[in-house]
Structure formats: structure tokens, C-alpha cells
Amino acid sequence: MAEDSPKRRKANFNEAETEVLIEQVLKHEQLLFAAGPGRASAGQKRKVWELIRHKVNPVAACPRDVEDLKKRWRDLKRRDRSKLCRLSQGCGPPAPPALGLLLAPEELPPRRRAARPPP
């Protein structure tokens, strides 16, 4: 019979894990998120996510699986977009130069496009 202990959640992502995740996803962005006839198959994407997992886990606080990484990536994108939206509506201080790192140039408001560092 299985133990009736409550399920424990994993530790939060630390800064090193997040940096490696961002670096690797941006490196493989074309393969993971491209649309159209030249896009990668589900198997190819799965292999890339596994590669990313192998890069993140050495610096991870606890072992991460691919679903953890995908969820963290979605959360990072959502948080970056919501910050950008609030800032573009004039609420709050000016955006820091690194804010647009996760956004495509067309997603940046016009005044921020020129300030974005080249990839």
C-alpha cells in the first residue's frame, strides 16, 4: 500500500537554472517554435527539450523534467509580456534595457525596438 504522505512540491528555480534555460531555449528557438512548412517534428522538439534538460539539471536545485522546463519557459514569457504591457501603458518606471530579452522585436513597443541589444 502506498504511503499517505502529502505530495511535496519541487524547489523554486534558482537564478542559474533560469539563465541556462533562457540561454538554451533562445539558442534552439527556431527549432522549438518555428511555424510553417520548415518546422521541426514533435520528435525533434522532444530531443531538443531533453538536451536542454541535460544542460539545466547540473545547476538545478532538484532534478527537473521537460514539463517543468516548458512550464517555466511559458511563465517567463508571460511575466515578461505583462511587465512590458504595464510599462508601455505608462505605468511605472521606464523599462530596463534587458526587459526585451524574451520578446521578439515585433512584440516590443516602438520606443523599445531601437533600445534592444542585437542577438
3-state SS, one letter per residue, for 34-52: CCCCCCCCHHHHHHHHHHH
Q: What is the pTM of this model?
A: 0.67
**pLDDT band (50, 70, 90) for residue 37:** confident
Q: Is the pLDDT of residue 28 over 80?
A: yes
Please state the φ and ψ torsions of residue 50, each to the nearest 5 degrees: -65, -40
Q: Decide if 74 contacts 23 (C-beta within 8 A).
A: no
Determine contact, residues 113/101, Cβ cutoff 8 Å.
no
Return the pLDDT at 116: 52
Does the pLDDT of residue 105 top 90, yes or no?
no
User: What's the rounded mean pLDDT across residues 84-93?
Assistant: 65
